[in-house]
């Protein structure tokens, strides 16, 4: 029994060695060809990138074309090397085809991101350097890849968002239009002069060269509350000037309101008088 098992094992080893001896050169050639082809594919990828850069093609579309061609070249190379070794690629393709359904389920999210990447690249809801909000995050688009989009936040964080999450939700593109409206809201007291407030805002908008004359800014009462009157002001600016105008205007309004004694209501302050806790209103009248 032991002798029989020993002879079977010996025959198996001999058969394996014979096959290796007969196919050894082909295996060696296949490995060498694959290594050479791999480096040639990388060289071809760099060459394609240079060619596409010369024609100023959209970066996202360029990435899609480059990596698509690169993956195709590697696939053809792998199939050729398998044929050289003696493995029939038709059987490999048949097995992959039979397993296609399972592979599709396993890589459903990857395929969804791939399809969403194609939608983004060809329908262009946003492009490189746009400032967008989507899938609960926002930032400048620094790269559009096949499977994901890379955002850079104003505080220099990098966010990688799967493409499917972007295309399956609403996207707000803040920089797609060349003009934006700035909405200012100011709460003033009932004792304030409304016409004076409107004049102050008009003067500030007229003096600010970055605020557009057309469309004309809108200034009016937005709401009347129990303790405040809310004034709304809506000037238009070029998109690139939005935040600079916003911050500068807020500062100018504060100074002008102070100069003209425009009161902004606030909650009763907590003051300590003679170590006693008391509440006073804005006229310093003790109310408790």
Beta strands in the chain (DSSP E): 131-134, 137-144, 148-152, 158-162, 171-173, 179-181, 184-188, 218-224, 229-234, 236-238, 269-273, 276-280
**Choices 2.30.30.30, 2.30.30.60, 2.40.50.140, 2.40.50.1070: CATH for 124-173:** 2.30.30.60
Backbone angles phi, psi at 222, to 5 degrees: -90, -40
Distance, CA of 197 to CA of 229 (rounded, Å): 11
Question: Beta-carbon neighbour count of residue 158 at 10 Å?
Answer: 11
CA 87-89-94 angle, 5° bins: 125
Distance, CA of 276 to CA of 145 (rounded, Å): 65
Q: Domain-by-domain residue ranges, the chain?
A: 16-98, 124-173, 179-259
Q: Which fold has domain 16-98?
A: Helix Hairpins (1.10.287)
User: Where does 179-259 sit in CATH, by number?
Assistant: 3.30.70.100
Per-residue pLDDT of the chain (288 residues; tens, 9 = 90+): 544 555 656 666 666 555 555 666 667 777 788 888 888 888 888 887 777 777 666 666 677 777 778 778 887 878 777 777 766 666 556 555 655 555 555 556 777 877 888 888 888 899 889 999 998 999 999 988 888 899 999 999 999 999 999 988 899 999 999 999 999 999 999 889 999 999 999 999 999 999 999 999 999 999 998 889 999 999 999 999 999 999 999 999 999 999 999 988 875 543 444 444 444 444 444 444
């Amino acid at each position: 029994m032991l002798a029989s098992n020993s002879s079977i094992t010996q025959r198996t080893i001999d058969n394996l060695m014979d096959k290796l001896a007969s196919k050894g050169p082909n295996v060696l050639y296949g490995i060498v060809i694959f290594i050479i082809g791999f480096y040639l594919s990388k060289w071809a990828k760099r060459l394609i990138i240079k060619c596409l850069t010369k024609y100023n093609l959209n970066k996202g579309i360029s990435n899609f074309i480059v990596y698509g061609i690169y993956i195709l070249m590697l696939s053809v190379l792998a199939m050729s090397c398998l044929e050289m070794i003696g493995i029939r690629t038709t059987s490999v393709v048949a097995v992959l085809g039979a397993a296609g359904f399972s592979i599709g389920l396993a890589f459903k999210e990857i395929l969804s991101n791939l399809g969403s990447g194609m939608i983004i690249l060809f329908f262009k809801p946003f492009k490189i350097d746009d400032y967008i909000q989507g899938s609960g995050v926002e930032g400048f688009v620094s790269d559009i890849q096949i499977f994901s989009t890379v955002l850079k936040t104003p505080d220099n964080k990098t966010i990688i968002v799967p493409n499917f999450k972007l295309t399956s939700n609403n996207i707000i593109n803040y920089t797609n239009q060349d003009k934006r409206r700035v909405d200012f809201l100011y709460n003033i007291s009932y004792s304030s002069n409304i016409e004076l407030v409107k004049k102050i805002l008009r003067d500030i908008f007229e003096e600010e060269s970055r605020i557009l004359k057309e469309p004309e800014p809108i200034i009016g009462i937005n709401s009347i509350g129990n303790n405040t009157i809310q004034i709304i002001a809506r000037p238009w600016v070029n998109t690139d000037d939005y935040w600079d105008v916003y911050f500068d205007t807020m500062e100018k309004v504060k100074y002008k309101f102070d100069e003209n004694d425009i009161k902004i209501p606030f909650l009763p302050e907590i003051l300590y008088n003679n170590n006693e806790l008391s509440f006073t209103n804005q006229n310093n009248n003790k109310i408790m």
